[in-house]
């Protein structure tokens, strides 16, 4: 579920101590003196508490050391700034993949430039695209990701092909599960497809820790329930 109370990272209870201590914000990394942290040790500073969705996504992906893109996406999805449905998922998908891929390759310094370009490209994909243009922003997000890591342009050959193959494969995975829209389901399907594509075409095996068990069904009025592969029942 969206973390409306408790820790924005994991949802567990916030604990308060009598003495202040210096903790690094889990989202931006800034060290702040605080008396509050969750049971698991996560701390989120006041500035990051108030970030808009796309700012939150970019900041967290820039600083995280995780190399599991599903785990990154799930942490972001639990933050209340990321709504149940919305165009922020069009950026969340490539951002999670960029962060995981660069961290896995030991190239965290590449993330800043790639994330900025992914954000700009994703901003051109409006909300509701999946129902009006025959393609889903989450699938486009995986194409954006591959285009960025390969340096694709309209005049490239292999890079252009790989980017379009990526979008096509993600879109097929999303389309096979049918509508109506679910930005969480589509994002997980797209990221999972991209992980397989990376292994097949780039020899990069990103760690994905087990199957996704959705916690958003109760707030999704269009949930497919048992017809969704991520439904927790």
Q: How would residue 1 be classed by pLDDT, with cut points 50, 70 and 90?
A: very low
Bridge partners of 33? 22
Distance separating alpha carbons of residues 74 and 210, to the nearest angstrom: 13
What average pLDDT score do residues 187-198 get? 98
pLDDT at residue 81 greater than cutoff 80: yes
Q: Token digits for 119?
A: 């954000």
pTM for the full predicted model: 0.84
pLDDT at residue 16 greater than cutoff 60: yes
Residue 16, H or E segment: strand 14-24
How far from 68 is each of 37, 207, 208, 221, 226, CA to CA, in Å?
A: 24, 5, 5, 29, 26
Mean pLDDT of the chain: 91
pLDDT at residue 46 greater than cutoff 80: no
pLDDT at residue 2 greater than cutoff 70: no
Confidence at residue 3, expressed as pLDDT on a 0 to 100 scale? 44
Residues 110, 115, 120, 125: what is their CA dihedral angle, to the nearest 10 degrees?
130
Contacts of 41 (CB under 8 A, 6+ apart): none
Confidence at residue 6, expressed as pLDDT on a 0 to 100 scale? 66
What average pLDDT score do residues 2-29 get? 78
Strands 14-24, 31-38: pairing is antiparallel
Exposure class string for 95-129: b at 16+ Cβ within 10 A, else e: bbbbbbbbbbeeeeeebeebbeebbebbeebebeb
pLDDT at residue 8 greater than cutoff 80: no
Confidence at residue 75, expressed as pLDDT on a 0 to 100 scale? 93
Return the minimum-mean-pLDDT range out of 41-50, 143-152, 184-193: 41-50
Q: How would residue 63 be classed by pLDDT, with cut points 50, 70 and 90?
A: very high
Q: How would residue 9 be classed by pLDDT, with cut points 50, 70 and 90?
A: confident
Residue 31, H or E segment: strand 31-38
For residue 80, which of 183, 9, 182, 185 has the smallest C-alpha distance?
9
Q: How would residue 18 be classed by pLDDT, with cut points 50, 70 and 90?
A: confident
What average pLDDT score do residues 135-160 get? 97
Q: Token digits for 124?
A: 């051109």
Distance separating alpha carbons of residues 24 and 28, to the nearest angstrom: 8
What average pLDDT score do residues 212-230 get? 91
Confidence at residue 23, expressed as pLDDT on a 0 to 100 scale? 93
């Amino acid at each position: 579920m969206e973390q409306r109370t408790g820790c924005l990272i994991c949802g567990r209870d916030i604990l308060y101590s009598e003495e202040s201590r210096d903790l690094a914000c889990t989202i931006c990394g800034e060290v702040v003196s605080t008396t509050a942290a969750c049971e698991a040790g996560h701390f989120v500073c006041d500035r990051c508490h108030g970030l808009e969705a796309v700012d939150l996504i970019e900041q967290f992906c820039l600083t995280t050391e995780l190399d599991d893109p599903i785990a990154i996406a799930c942490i972001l999805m639990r933050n209340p700034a990321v709504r149940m449905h919305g165009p922020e998922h069009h950026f969340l998908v490539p951002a999670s993949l960029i962060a995981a891929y660069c961290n896995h390759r030991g190239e965290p310094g590449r993330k800043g430039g790639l994330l900025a370009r992914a954000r700009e490209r994703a901003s051109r994909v409006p909300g509701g695209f999946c129902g009006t243009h025959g393609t889903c922003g989450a699938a486009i997000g995986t194409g954006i990701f591959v285009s960025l890591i390969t340096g694709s342009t309209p005049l490239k050959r292999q890079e252009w092909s790989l980017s379009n193959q990526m979008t096509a494969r993600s879109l097929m995975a999303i389309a096979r599960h049918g509508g109506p829209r679910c930005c969480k389901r589509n994002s997980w399907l797209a990221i999972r497809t991209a992980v397989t594509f990376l292994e097949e075409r780039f020899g990069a095996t990103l760690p994905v820790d087990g199957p996704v068990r959705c916690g958003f069904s109760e707030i999704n009025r269009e949930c497919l329930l048992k017809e969704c592969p991520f439904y927790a029942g």
